[in-house]
C-alpha cells in the first residue's frame, strides 16, 4: 500500500469521525486516522529502511527475525490450512526472507508483499491451466 492510499484511508476515518455522535467513537475514528497517517509516512520511499545488500552478508537482527517469524505465521494463517511441512510453507518462508533482505522489515509491508507475490503466482497458475499449459 503506497502513501497516497494510506492518506485516503485516514481521510475516510476523519469523515467518519465527523459523523459520529458519541465522543468515544469519534476519538476512536480520529485515532485510526492518526495510525493511517503514520503508515503513510512510513510508506514514503525516503522513510523506508534501505539496507538491501547488508543482509546478504550479515545475520538478521533479533528484532527482524521476530518480525519475519510473525509475518510467516500470519501469511500461513491467511492462506489457510497450510502445514509447516508442506512445500508451500517453505516457499512462503523463502519469500519472506527474500523480501526482508531487500530492506523491507516493516511487519505490515512484509506481509502485504508476501501475499501479493503468492496472489500473482496463483493467478498465473490459473491462467496456464485455462490455456491448457499446466496440469
pLDDT at 4 over 80: yes
What's the whole-number average pLDDT of the chain?
77
Distance CA 37, CA 53 (A): 29
Verify that 42 and 59 share a domain, yes or no. Answer: no
75 to 9, 24, 46, 53, 113: CA distances (angstroms): 23, 33, 27, 25, 10
Verify that 26 and 55 share a domain, yes or no. Answer: no
Residue 54 pLDDT class (50, 70, 90 cuts): very low
Verify that 55 and 12 share a domain, yes or no. Answer: no
Verify that 39 and 105 share a domain, yes or no. Answer: no
Verify that 19 and 79 share a domain, yes or no. Answer: no
Q: Is 112 helix (H, G, I), strand (E, B) or coil?
A: helix
Residue with cell 498465473: 124
Residue predicted with more confidence, 95 or 57: 95
The grid cell for 23 is: 465522543
As a whole-number percent, the residues of the chain with pLDDT over 70 amount to 74
Report pTM: 0.49
Verify that 116 and 56 share a domain, yes or no. Answer: yes
Verify that 69 and 9 share a domain, yes or no. Answer: no
User: Among candidates 34, 23, 114, 22, which has minimal Cα distance to 67?
Assistant: 114
Question: Tens digits of per-residue pLDDT, 17-39?
Answer: 999 888 888 888 888 888 888 88
Verify that 59 and 29 share a domain, yes or no. Answer: no
Verify that 75 and 101 share a domain, yes or no. Answer: yes
Question: Tens digits of per-residue pLDDT, 72-81?
Answer: 888 888 877 6
Domain count, the chain: 2
Give the range of the structural domain holding residue 105, as residue numbers without chain letter: 51-131
Verify that 41 and 70 share a domain, yes or no. Answer: no
Amino acid at each position: 500500500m503506497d502513501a497516497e492510499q494510506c492518506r485516503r484511508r485516514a481521510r475516510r476515518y476523519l469523515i467518519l469521525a465527523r459523523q459520529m455522535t458519541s465522543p468515544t467513537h469519534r476519538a476512536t475514528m480520529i485515532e485510526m486516522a492518526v495510525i493511517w497517517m503514520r503508515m503513510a509516512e512510513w510508506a514514503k520511499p525516503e522513510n523506508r529502511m534501505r539496507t538491501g545488500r547488508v543482509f546478504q552478508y550479515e545475520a538478521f537482527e533479533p528484532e527482524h527475525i521476530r518480525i519475519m517469524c510473525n509475518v510467516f505465521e500470519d501469511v500461513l494463517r491467511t492462506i489457510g490450512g497450510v502445514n509447516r511441512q508442506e512445500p508451500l510453507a517453505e516457499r512462503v518462508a523463502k519469500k519472506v526472507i527474500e523480501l526482508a533482505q531487500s530492506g523491507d522489515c516493516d511487519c505490515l509491508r512484509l506481509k502485504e508483499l508476501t501475499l501479493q507475490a503468492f496472489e500473482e503466482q496463483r493467478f498465473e497458475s490459473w491462467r496456464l491451466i485455462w490455456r491448457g499449459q499446466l496440469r
